[in-house]
């Protein structure tokens, strides 16, 4: 098997450095809005894959009887445990080899993780394996085919072709770089793995400093509410959310 990249969040305070007082309330609200629309109301066993410190836990704690937060980073998981205590069970490991049995979970989500995954197909196969037939996976994908990326390519400011289905690998986020995916490429993986796509949402449609200044977070969140569904068919947003189901046998 080819080499895997794990983006190491150990020792990085993702909560404080990425989310607190960093002007990302709109993005946080946009994620939550999508998750509320896509996650089943009641689940027995649910896992937040690459869940970090459990930023989004308040969206699923009431929906599931048993909640796991799974992540590679032990420092993120410790933070999750400090915040949620017995409400969650934390499990450490690598997405490419999940510590869950075949057909064990009836729900899972994976949000803001695909940009760290070099081998998305292998990760999706692993998510499929641990889901029960009939189970639901909510997966957020970092989109390479956004309007700003199209504009940068067409005007010659970027060499990354957003229309090309090939994975885009950017080098500058960390030593490992990060990955953006073309919606068609991802959807082919979902189909090939065996998932049925039940719903798609276009998320963080107005992720832009200028728009935040002009409209303010509150108004952007209101605009986002209808845009997630209306703009889903074009798939131009930086985040595309998928509600997938593993078919019943
Ligand atoms: C950007 S954070 C997202 C956290 C959370 N899902 C959220 O939206 O707030 C990405 C998380 O994925 C985890 N991660 C990245 N690659 C991983 C891998 N191969 N196996 C397990 N976790 C991984 C990181 O440790 C980090 O906590």
The string of DSSP codes covering 93-152 is: -BTTB-SS-TT-EEEEEE-S-GGG-S-HHHHHHHHHHHEEEEEEEEEEEEBS--HHHHHH
> Is there an atom of ligand 1 within 6 Å of 120 CB?
no
Inter-residue contact 139 to 117 (CB < 8 Å): no
Site to substitute for ligand 1 among 31, 32, 52, most atoms within 8 A of C-beta? 52
Per-residue confidence (pLDDT) for residue 176, from 0 to 100: 63
Say whether pLDDT at 235 is over 50. Answer: yes
Ligand 1 centre distance from Cα of residue 154 (Å): 32
CA of 80 to the centre of ligand 1 (A): 13
Q: What is the mean pLDDT of the chain?
A: 94
Give percent above pLDDT 90 in the chain. Answer: 88
Residue 139 bridge partners (DSSP): 110, 242
pLDDT for 1-15, tens place per residue?
446 667 889 989 999
Distance CA 102, CA 143 (A): 29
Q: What confidence category does residue 249 fall into, taking pLDDT thresholds of 50, 70 and 90?
A: confident
pLDDT of residue 227: 98
| Percent of the chain residues past pLDDT 70, beyond the cut | 96
pLDDT given for residue 173 in this prediction: 55
Answer whether 79 contacts ligand 1 (Cβ < 6 A).
no
- Is residue 85 scored above 90 in pLDDT? yes
In 3D, which of 142, 56, 48 has the Cα closest to residue 89? 48
Q: Strand pairing of 64-71 and 89-92?
A: parallel
Instruction: State if residue 28 touches ligand 1 by the CB under 6 angstroms criterion.
Output: no
What would the mean pLDDT of 47-60 be, rounded to a whole number? Answer: 98
| Residue 52 contacts residue 76 (beta carbons within 8 Å) | yes
- Environment class of 46 (CB within 10 Å of its CB; exposed 0-12, middle 13-18, buried 19+): buried
Residue 115 Cα to ligand 1 midpoint, Å, equals 9
Pocket test for ligand 1, best of 116, 140, 174, 179 (most atoms within 8 A of CB): 116
Model confidence over 174-220: pLDDT tens digits?
A: 556 789 999 999 999 999 999 999 999 999 999 999 999 999 999 99
Note the pLDDT tens digit of each residue in 86-119: 999 999 999 999 999 999 999 999 999 999 999 9
Atom of ligand 1 nearest to the CA of 96: 19
CA dist 214 and 233 (Å) reads 26
What are residue 167's phi and psi, to 5 degrees?
Answer: -65, 135
CATH for 14-243 is: 3.40.50.150
Torsion-angle region of residue 177: left (phi > 0), alpha (psi -120 to 50) or beta? left
Q: How confident is the model at residue 63 (pLDDT cuts 50, 70, 90)?
A: very high
Domain-by-domain residue ranges, the chain? 14-243
Query: For residue range 35-44, what is the model confidence (pLDDT) as tens digits?
Result: 999 999 999 9
Task: Give the Cα separation of 230 and 43 in Å (integer).
Answer: 28
């Amino acid at each position: 098997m080819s080499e895997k990249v794990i983006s190491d969040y150990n020792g990085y305070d993702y909560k404080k450095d990425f989310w607190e007082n960093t002007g990302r309330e709109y993005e946080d609200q946009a994620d939550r809005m999508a998750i509320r629309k896509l996650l089943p109301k009641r689940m027995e066993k649910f896992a937040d894959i690459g869940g970090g410190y459990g930023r989004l836990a308040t969206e699923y704690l009431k929906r599931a009887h048993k909640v796991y937060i799974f992540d590679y980073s032990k420092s993120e998981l410790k933070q999750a445990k400090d915040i949620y205590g017995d409400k969650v069970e934390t499990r450490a490991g690598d997405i490419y080899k999940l510590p869950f049995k075949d057909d064990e979970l009836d729900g899972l989500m994976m949000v803001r993780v695909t940009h760290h995954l070099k081998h998305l197909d292998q990760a999706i196969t692993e998510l499929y394996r641990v889901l029960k037939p009939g189970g639901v996976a909510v997966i957020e994908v970092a989109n390479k085919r956004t309007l700003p990326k199209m504009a940068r390519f067409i005007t010659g400011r970027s060499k990354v072709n957003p229309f090309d289905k090939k994975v885009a690998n950017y080098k500058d986020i960390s030593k490992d770089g990060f990955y953006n995916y073309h919606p068609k490429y991802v959807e082919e993986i979902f189909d090939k793995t065996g998932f049925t796509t039940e719903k798609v949402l276009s998320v963080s449609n107005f992720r832009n400093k200028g728009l935040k200044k002009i409209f303010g977070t509150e108004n952007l969140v209101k605009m986002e509410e209808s845009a997630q569904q209306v703009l889903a068919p074009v798939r131009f947003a930086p985040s595309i959310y998928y509600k997938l189901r593993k078919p019943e046998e």
